[in-house]
Amino acid sequence: MVDSSIDLMESNEILKKYPPEKRFTLAILQDVQKQYGYVPRETMNLIAEYLSQPVSEIYSMATFYKALSLKAKGKYIIKVCNGTACHIRGSNALMDEVAEVLDIIPGETTSDGLFSIEIVNCLGACALAPVMVIDDKYYGGMTKEKVKSVIEEYRRAK
């Protein structure tokens, strides 16, 4: 899958920040993920060449770490915490509601490219369980009832 719309200039800018050493693979991939919202195939070739590593090595990193994704994610990523504290305080019901409101399942992105849902394992905000995070904003003590209005806020703000 080759996406011709990818601007590799930006990837070159990212690579310039790091010396060509293997230990920076994860950091480079994370910057790429942040820049494009995912790790495009073309950038993997570029990184492999820069670090003198096989592309397969870069691919295995991109698929191993949860922070990296091969598919484009939505503008807003809704992270629903399913850590233990959230789980026993009803995060399942919260997850179902978010999925229903957006009509996608966790891991997917809405067709307008606005939202993705991710299930994460503990955000370390257990005292506020159940927790959901959108764009680094924490929503603690979430209930099913609040989901719609929170999502609407982001829809309107797009």
Partner 1 sequence: MSSEKRKILVCCGTGCLANNSYNVYTKFLDRLKNTSIDVVPSVKSTGCNGLCEKGPVVKILPDEISYFKVKESDVDEIVEKNILNGEVVDRLLYFDTNEKKRIVSHKDASFYKHQNKIALRNIGEIDPQSIEDYKERGGYMALEKVLFSMTPEQIIKEIESSGLRGRGGAGFPTGNKWRTCFQFENNPKYVVCNGDEGDPGAFMDRSVMEGDPNTVIEGMIICAFAINSNRGFLYIRDEYQLARKNMQLAIESAMAHGYLGKNIMGSGFDFDLEIVRGGGAFVCGESSALMASIEGSVGEPRAKYIRSVEKGLWDQPTVLNNVETWANVPPIILNGADWFRNLGTEKNSGTKVFSLVGKVKNTGLVEIPMGTTLRELVFDIGGGIIKDRPFKAVQTGGPSGGCIPKEHLDVSMDFDSLNNIGSMMGSGGVIVMDDTTCMVELARYYMEFLAEESCGKCTTCREGISTMVKILNNITNGNGKMEDLDLLESLSGTIKDASLCGLGKTAPNPVMTTLKYFRDEYIDHIVNKKCSAGVCKNLTSYSIDKDTCIGCGLCAKKCPTGAISGTLKSPHEISHDTCIKCGTCFSVCPSGAVVIGGAANEN
Q: Which of 12, 20, 22, 112 binds partner 1 (CB under 8 A)?
A: 22
Distance in angstroms (rounded) separating the CA atoms of residues 158 and 148: 16
Site string for partner 1, 77-96 (x = CB under 8 A): -----xxxxxxxx---x---
25 forms part of the interface with partner 1 (CB under 8 A): yes
Of 73, 72, 48, 71, nearest to 61 by C-alpha is: 48
Distance in angstroms (rounded) separating the CA atoms of residues 150 and 157: 11
Binding to partner 1 (CB under 8 A): which residues in 112-131? 120-129, 131
Q: How many residues bind partner 1 (CB under 8 A)?
A: 42
Give every CB contact of residue 68 below 8 A, 6+ residues apart in sequence. 29, 30, 33, 39, 61, 62
CB of 82 to partner 1, least distance (A): 8
48 forms part of the interface with partner 1 (CB under 8 A): no
The structure tokens 């090595």 sit at 57
Residues in touch with partner 1 (CB under 8 A) = 21-27, 29-30, 57, 60-61, 64-68, 82-89, 93, 120-129, 131, 136-140
